[in-house]
Structure formats: structure tokens, C-alpha cells
């Protein structure tokens, strides 16, 4: 068995549903594939299968109550949340999906899921009508937008006598999804990923600046996802109001020149650079130390060109680092992305058309991933999911670079 995998813990959450007995087979299958498996059950799940069954199959204590004696020094749901490489809830009832979608945490399973940074896979099982209800689908979509993976329920005869969608998916399919996430959870370990984010502000006087509408959401989502996948992450960001992502070195700067200095100081140790910042191309030629009075203001503002940080990295790169740029345009975005790919010697450009409502400040975006050999259009996605898709491609580019 792979030694790497042996170190990974998959946490299986079991909820109160007749399909709970199938979770026994899931625990066995994941153990067979070399994972350490721990089980968390809701109180209702214990009505269907005894905790002792899972304890025997996994060889690990089973967590049910928030109030039971804790095995370690740390609060139990927190230690489980931190230990898990992946959380798989199978079967998952409509009730638990609703709780997760609304951030409720009133038992061992939901507190653990709320506390975890690990990817969460949900395999629903319920009556067809419950599954199809608008409210259930809205909860599923809300969780999907937050990055949860769903293993869709299968069609067939249900325990209640109905026939339709709602059966727990095949155990092998659920185990495959868990294994894929476990692999992804490690695919950037050992790498230093440098991300730029947000706008830059180029001061005119102490109260005015040249800037743009970038919120930093894209870059912060990328940094967070890279850290979750095991990378050492440095995030150089212009002025934004977002909190520091967990486990990431955050360098807050204001101007393009400061961003350049912070990026160059970290470039030599970086394996991957992802430049999502909207760097101001120009700065005022001079800075007035006092607020410029309206009556004394010149008619025109003299500007100087800022250095192109990414182009400089492209020049310095000896082929070692994977370089990813962004292109935001209101027209001709694919052509512009291709130009930037060549001009700045990049491996990939994330092209976004910002002529509509998406792009700056929004939670979602529609992007095209442009390389020298392909242009892959993604659907409208939450920026966290775009970060995940992008890092899948980046991990492949790193592997390709290292294999030559
Ligand atoms: O922050 P959000 O609200 O989530 O918005 C995200 C975004 C729309 C800002 C982001 O997705 C995006 O598209 N960022 C790049 C914006 C842009 O217009 O880039 P550009 O065409 O000016 O530059 C191309 C590339 O060179 C970018 O990777 C940029 O970071 C880099 N660059 C540009 C100028 C400069 N002086 N130095 C640079 O490094």
C-alpha cells in the first residue's frame, strides 16, 4: 500500500437514513485502499447501525456525542476536523444538507464539518420528492458554490417503496471521489506558490489615488486553495478588506512598486507564480505631500509607467517556475490573453471578459484558461471553484515541467 496514503485520514460522516448500513462497506473499501478511516455518526444514524460496527471495521473510536469523554487533549471535533484530509458524508440526509448549507453546528458531525478546512464530499440518500424539492436543491447548490463535491444519488427502488432518484450512489463511486480529493489534497505539497491579488493604489496626494475595482477575492481564493493542497503560499496583495487566509504568508502593499519589491524578494524560491492582481499601469509622476486644493489643481495629471512585474518574472524565469497571468478586457479577451502568454513568457493565462457584470468584485466569474495549445472555457463558477480548477491545471503543468 502507498505509504503516503497511509498517513491520510478520511473522515466518514454517517447520518440517520436506511442507507447507513452501506457506509460499513465504504469504511471497508477506503481502508482497503490504504486510508486511515475515522467515523462520525449523528445520533439518528446510531438507530440504524451501532457505533461498535464502525469501530470494529475502522479500528478507530467512533465519535457521536459532543459531550462524551474526549480521547486527546484537544477538543474532539476540532482535532477530527484538523486531522481529516477529506470528509465524506455518506449517506447524507436532506436535514444534514440543510444544516450544512446554513452553517448550523449542533452535533458532532456538523461542528466537525464547520471546523474543517478539508474538502467535503456529500453522497445524499433520501426519498425522491425530498431530493427534488426546491429547498433541497437550493441547499445543494449553495454547498456546491462553496466547493462541496456531490456524488449524485442513483435512480432505483427506494426503501420507502417509491422508485426514482434518491438511492445512495455506488460505494465504489463514492470511494473514487474520496480518493481523488485525497490525492488533490496533497498535490501541491513541497511547492512554494506566490500569488498576487487585489488592486494597487497609486497616490496623487494623501487622500486621492489611481486605482481599480479589484476586490482581491480571486487571488485570496487561489491562495487559500493552494494552502489547502499543501503548498507553502505567499500572497502579495494590494489594498483590500479581506481577512488573511489561514496558513498563508500575507504581504500587504499599496503601490505597484511595493508589490514588485515584495514579489521579486520571493521569486527565487517560488515554484509557481499566479498573478491575479490588477496592477495599475501608471502612477502619478509626482506625489503632493498635502491635499491638493481644488482651486490649485492642475488641469492634467502627469503619469509615469509602472514596471510590468509579471513581464519581469517572465524574463528572469529560467523555465523552472510555472508562471500564470490574468487578462481582463472588455473586448478581444482571448486574443489579448494569447498576446500576454507570448509577450510575458507565461505557461497559462486566465482570461476574463469584464464587459458584463462578472469579473471585478463579484463572487462568481466566467474565465477561459488559455495555454499555448488550448483555450478551455469554464462555466460561470464561484471564484473558489475557479481557484480549484486553475490549480488542477497548475499541478499538471508542474508535473509536466518536472518530467522533462
Ligand atoms: O480581485 P477580484 O475582484 O476578484 O477581480 C479579479 C480580477 C478581475 C482583477 C482578475 O481576475 C484579473 O483579471 N486580474 C488581472 C487584471 C488585468 O487587467 O491585468 P493586466 O491585463 O493589466 O495584466 C496582465 C497580467 O500582468 C496580470 O496577471 C497582472 O497581474 C500582470 N501585471 C500587469 C501590470 C503590471 N504592471 N504588472 C503585472 O504584473
Residue 4 within any structural domain of the chain? no
Residue 162 within any structural domain of the chain? yes
Residue 167 sits in the same domain as residue 235: no
Q: Predicted confidence band at 2 (pLDDT cuts at 50, 70, 90)?
A: very low
User: Residue 107: what pLDDT?
Assistant: 95
Residue 267 sits in the same domain as residue 155: no
- CA torsion angle 249 255 261 265 (round to 10): 10
199 has pLDDT over 60 = yes
Residue 282 sits in the same domain as residue 305: yes
73 has pLDDT over 70 = no
Residue 380 within any structural domain of the chain? yes
Q: Predicted confidence band at 72 (pLDDT cuts at 50, 70, 90)?
A: low
401 has pLDDT over 50 = yes
User: Residue 14: what pLDDT?
Assistant: 98
Residue 231 sits in the same domain as residue 180: no
User: Residue 329: what pLDDT?
Assistant: 84
326 has pLDDT over 90 = yes
Provide CB contacts within 8 A for 36, sequence distance 6+.
6, 7, 8, 9, 10, 60
User: What is the Å distance from ligand 1's center to 178 Cα?
Assistant: 34
Residue 145 sits in the same domain as residue 224: no
User: Residue 79: what pLDDT?
Assistant: 87
Q: Predicted confidence band at 292 (pLDDT cuts at 50, 70, 90)?
A: very high
Residue 331 within any structural domain of the chain? yes
Cα–Cα distance, 271 to 193 (Å, whole number): 6
Residue 101 within any structural domain of the chain? yes
Residue predicted with more confidence, 3 or 275 = 275
CA distances from 218 to 195, 346, 349 (A): 10, 19, 14
Q: What is the mean pLDDT of residues 337-343?
A: 95
CATH number at residue 98: 3.40.50.1950
> What angle, 0 to 180 degrees and rounded to 10, lies between the N-to-C axes of helices 76-83 and 108-115?
50
User: Residue 179: what pLDDT?
Assistant: 96
Q: What is the mean pLDDT of residues 32-43?
A: 96
Closest CA to 174 of 137, 139, 122: 122
**CA of 354, closest atom in ligand 1:** 8
Residue 2 within any structural domain of the chain? no
User: What is the Å distance from ligand 1's center to 279 Cα?
Assistant: 6
Cα–Cα distance, 259 to 243 (Å, whole number): 18
Percent of the chain with pLDDT over 70: 97
Query: Of 125, 158, 184, which one is at a domain's C-terminal end?
Result: 184
User: What is the Å distance from ligand 1's center to 280 Cα?
Assistant: 9
Ligand 1 pocket: which of 245, 328, 363 to mutate (most atoms within 8 A of CB) = 328
Q: Catalogue the active-site residues.
A: 160
Residue predicted with more confidence, 403 or 115 = 115
Provide CB contacts within 8 A for 268, sequence distance 6+.
none
The pTM for the full model equals: 0.87
**CA of 359, closest atom in ligand 1:** 8
Query: Of 159, 184, 209, which one is at a domain's C-terminal end?
Result: 184
- Let me know: does 13 contact 80? Beta carbons within 8 Å: no
Q: What is the mean pLDDT of residues 380-403?
A: 93
240 has pLDDT over 60 = yes
Residue 388 within any structural domain of the chain? yes
Residue 330 sits in the same domain as residue 201: yes
Cα–Cα distance, 365 to 196 (Å, whole number): 18
Percent of the chain with pLDDT over 90: 81
Query: Of 158, 184, 210, which one is at a domain's C-terminal end?
Result: 184
Residue predicted with more confidence, 67 or 285 = 285
Residue 255 sits in the same domain as residue 221: yes
Residue 79 sits in the same domain as residue 48: yes
45 has pLDDT over 90 = yes
Q: How many CA atoms lie within 13 A of 381 on its CB side?
A: 20
The runs of H, that is alpha helices, within 235-305 are 256-267
CATH number at residue 303: 3.40.50.10300
Q: What is the mean pLDDT of residues 306-312?
A: 98
Residue 170 sits in the same domain as residue 209: no
Residue 201 sits in the same domain as residue 340: yes
Question: What residue numbers bound the domain in which 373 lies?
Answer: 192-403
Number of folded domains in the chain? Answer: 2
Beta bridge partners of 328: 352
User: What is the Å distance from ligand 1's center to 381 Cα?
Assistant: 19
**CA of 277, closest atom in ligand 1:** 30
Residue predicted with more confidence, 3 or 304 = 304
257 has pLDDT over 90 = yes
- Which residues surround ligand 1 with Cβ inside 6 Å? 196, 198, 214-218, 256, 275-279, 281, 306, 308-310, 325-328, 340, 352, 354, 359-361, 383
Residue 209 sits in the same domain as residue 112: no
Ligand 1 pocket: which of 202, 280, 307, 310 to mutate (most atoms within 8 A of CB) = 310
4 has pLDDT over 60 = no
Q: Predicted confidence band at 1 (pLDDT cuts at 50, 70, 90)?
A: very low
User: Residue 172: what pLDDT?
Assistant: 97
User: What is the Å distance from ligand 1's center to 199 Cα?
Assistant: 8
User: Residue 69: what pLDDT?
Assistant: 64
Residue 159 within any structural domain of the chain? yes
φ/ψ (deg, to 5) at 241: -105, 10
Residue 171 sits in the same domain as residue 213: no
Q: Predicted confidence band at 119 (pLDDT cuts at 50, 70, 90)?
A: very high
Amino acid at each position: 500500500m502507498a505509504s503516503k496514503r497511509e498517513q491520510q485520514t478520511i473522515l466518514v460522516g454517517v447520518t440517520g437514513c436506511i442507507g447507513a448500513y452501506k457506509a460499513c462497506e465504504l469504511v471497508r473499501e477506503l481502508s482497503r485502499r490504504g486510508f486511515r478511516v475515522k467515523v462520525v455518526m449523528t445520533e439518528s444514524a446510531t438507530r440504524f447501525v451501532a457505533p461498535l460496527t464502525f469501530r470494529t471495521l475502522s479500528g478507530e473510536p467512533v465519535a457521536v456525542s459532543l459531550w462524551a469523554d474526549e480521547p486527546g487533549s484537544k477538543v474532539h471535533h476540532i482535532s477530527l476536523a484538523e486531522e481529516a484530509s477529506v470528509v465524506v458524508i455518506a449517506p447524507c440526509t436532506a436535514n444534514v444538507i440543510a444544516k450544512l448549507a446554513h452553517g448550523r453546528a449542533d452535533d458532532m458531525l456538523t461542528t466537525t464539518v464547520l471546523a474543517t478546512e478539508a474538502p467535503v464530499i456529500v453522497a445524499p440518500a433520501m426519498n425522491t420528492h425530498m431530493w427534488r424539492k426546491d429547498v433541497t436543491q437550493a441547499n445543494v447548490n449553495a454547498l456546491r458554490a462553496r466547493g462541496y463535491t456531490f456524488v449524485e444519488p442513483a435512480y432505483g427502488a427506494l426503501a420507502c417503496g417509491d422508485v426514482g432518484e434518491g438511492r445512495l450512489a455506488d460505494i465504489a463511486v463514492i470511494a473514487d471521489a474520496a480518493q481523488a480529493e485525497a490525492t488533490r489534497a496533497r498535490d501541491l505539497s513541497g511547492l512554494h506558490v506566490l500569488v498576487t491579488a487585489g488592486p494597487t493604489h497609486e497616490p496623487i496626494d494623501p487622500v486621492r489615488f489611481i486605482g481599480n475595482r479589484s476586490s482581491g477575492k480571486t487571488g485570496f481564493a487561489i491562495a487559500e486553495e493552494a494552502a489547502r493542497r499543501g503548498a507553502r503560499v505567499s500572497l502579495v496583495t494590494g489594498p483590500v478588506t479581506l481577512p488573511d487566509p489561514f496558513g498563508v504568508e500575507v504581504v500587504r502593499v499599496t503601490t505597484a512598486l511595493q508589490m514588485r519589491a515584495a514579489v521579486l524578494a520571493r521569486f527565487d524560491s517560488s515554484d509557481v507564480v499566479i498573478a491575479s492582481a490588477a496592477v495599475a499601469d501608471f502612477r502619478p509622476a509626482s506625489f503632493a505631500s498635502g491635499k491638493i486644493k481644488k482651486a490649485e489643481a492642475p488641469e492634467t495629471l502627469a503619469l509615469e509607467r509602472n514596471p510590468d512585474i509579471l513581464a519581469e518574472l517572465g524574463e528572469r524565469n529560467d523555465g523552472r517556475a510555472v508562471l500564470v497571468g490574468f487578462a481582463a478586457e472588455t473586448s478581444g479577451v482571448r486574443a489579448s490573453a494569447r498576446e500576454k502568454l507570448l509577450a510575458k513568457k507565461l505557461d497559462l493565462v486566465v482570461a476574463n471578459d469584464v464587459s458584463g457584470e462578472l469579473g471585478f468584485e463579484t463572487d462568481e466569474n466566467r474565465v477561459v484558461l488559455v495555454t499555448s495549445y488550448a483555450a478551455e472555457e469554464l462555466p460561470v463558477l464561484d471564484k473558489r471553484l475557479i481557484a480549484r480548477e486553475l490549480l488542477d491545471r497548475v499541478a499538471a503543468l508542474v508535473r509536466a515541467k518536472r518530467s522533462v
